[in-house]
């Protein structure tokens, strides 16, 4: 009888251990990063924002360079976008400063693992004027600058492509959405703007969509259909052509399908394919993290 009771006790103890969920590791650094970002948001002075952000950048970099930081979770951080690649090799962190004149400046880090090596790259936004939008912005030290909210991992010929979809607040009149491909070379160095988008007879390295600040643009990866789906943007009247502060969705949809290492444009797709996708709750919550209600 005592033997049976002992076995039962052991079994119950084992089941109790199995049923317990593993608690996430607590990192005080994550709380500090959250507090810094909240302080920056509440600061009205542009000069003070820059000073606080400079300290945040140094503190964040030092933390990301530790091996333990790969285990950190950032769900409690309100104003930070965090993306993880499907292969577990890449994490992308982005945030921004909103200045009094309505402009934005973006900041971020890439945390990348390649075999036994781990790298951290600070993303430095060098975008200055609208006239420079067509520049390549291919390096992490000369970055286009955006808040990334989705990452797509694809492979072709043993090469991995990380497609990033992001938002750029631009100014009081215009919002932008950005799609670009990030790759890493054999040395583990990142390169943005890989020429991966095929639009009819042309190939480009970055897609930039401009539209009215009050409008909302659908631009997301449709996993069910395995394609990037987007609203087709147009002005309400022909006389506003090229004036992007008047552009908005016209109730038609386009898409990009990944084939042979490139995203190929498919114009005017079936609306059922465009809207019939599984919603990602994480992406939807990002709307509340951004400074614009029109994200």
pLDDT tens-digit profile of 13-70? 444 444 455 566 889 999 999 999 999 999 999 999 999 999 999 999 999 999 999 9
Q: Would you call 160 exposed, middle or buried from its count of C-beta atoms within 10 A (0-12, 13-18, 19+)?
A: middle
pLDDT tens-digit profile of 253-272? 999 999 999 999 999 998 87
Cα-based distances in Å from 99 to 40, 106, 169, 204, 241? 11, 11, 11, 31, 29
The rounded distance, in Å, linking the Cα atoms of 226 and 272 is 14
Task: Output the pLDDT for position 8.
Answer: 39
- 235, 246 Cβ separation under 8 angstroms: yes
Instruction: Point out which residues pair with 265 in neighbouring strands.
Output: 256
pLDDT tens-digit profile of 33-47? 999 999 999 999 999
Task: List the one residue out of 163, 154, 139, 143 whose CA is nearest residue 219.
Answer: 163
Mean pLDDT of the chain: 85
Domains in the chain: boundaries: 80-289
User: Which helix (DSSP H) or strand (DSSP E) does residue 52 occupy?
Assistant: helix 46-64
Task: Output the pLDDT for position 285.
Answer: 41
Task: Output the pLDDT for position 17.
Answer: 47
Task: Output the pLDDT for position 35.
Answer: 97
Please determine, for residue 146, whether its predicted confidence score (pLDDT) is greater than 70: yes
Supply 31's token pair. Answer: 């709380």
């Amino acid at each position: 009888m005592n033997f049976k009771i002992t076995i039962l006790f052991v079994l119950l103890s084992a089941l109790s251990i199995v049923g317990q969920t593993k608690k996430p590791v607590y990192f005080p650094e994550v709380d500090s990063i959250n507090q810094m970002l909240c302080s920056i948001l509440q600061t009205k002075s542009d000069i003070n924002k820059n000073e606080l952000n400079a300290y945040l950048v140094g503190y964040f970099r030092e933390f990301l360079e530790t091996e333990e930081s790969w285990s950190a979770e950032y769900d409690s951080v309100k104003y930070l976008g965090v993306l993880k690649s499907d292969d577990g090799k890449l994490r992308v962190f982005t945030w921004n400063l909103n200045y009094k004149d309505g402009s934005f400046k973006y900041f971020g880090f890439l945390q990348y693992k390649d075999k036994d090596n781990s790298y951290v790259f600070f993303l430095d936004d060098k975008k200055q004027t609208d006239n420079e939008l067509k520049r390549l912005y291919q390096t992490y030290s000369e970055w286009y600058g955006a808040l990334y909210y989705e990452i797509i991992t694809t492979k072709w010929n043993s090469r991995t492509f990380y497609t990033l979809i992001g938002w750029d607040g631009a100014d009081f009149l215009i919002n932008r959405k950005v799609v670009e491909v990030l790759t890493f070379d054999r040395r583990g160095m990142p390169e943005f703007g890989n020429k991966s988008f095929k639009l009819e007879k042309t190939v480009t390295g970055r897609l930039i969509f401009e539209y009215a600040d009050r409008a909302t643009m659908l631009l997301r990866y449709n996993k069910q259909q395995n394609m990037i789906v987007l609203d087709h943007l147009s002005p309400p009247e022909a006389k506003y052509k090229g004036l992007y502060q008047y552009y908005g969705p016209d109730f038609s949809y386009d898409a990009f399908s990944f084939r042979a290492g490139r995203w190929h444009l498919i114009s005017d797709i079936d609306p059922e394919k465009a809207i019939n996708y599984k919603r990602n709750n994480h992406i939807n919550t990002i709307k509340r993290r951004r400074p614009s209600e029109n994200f």
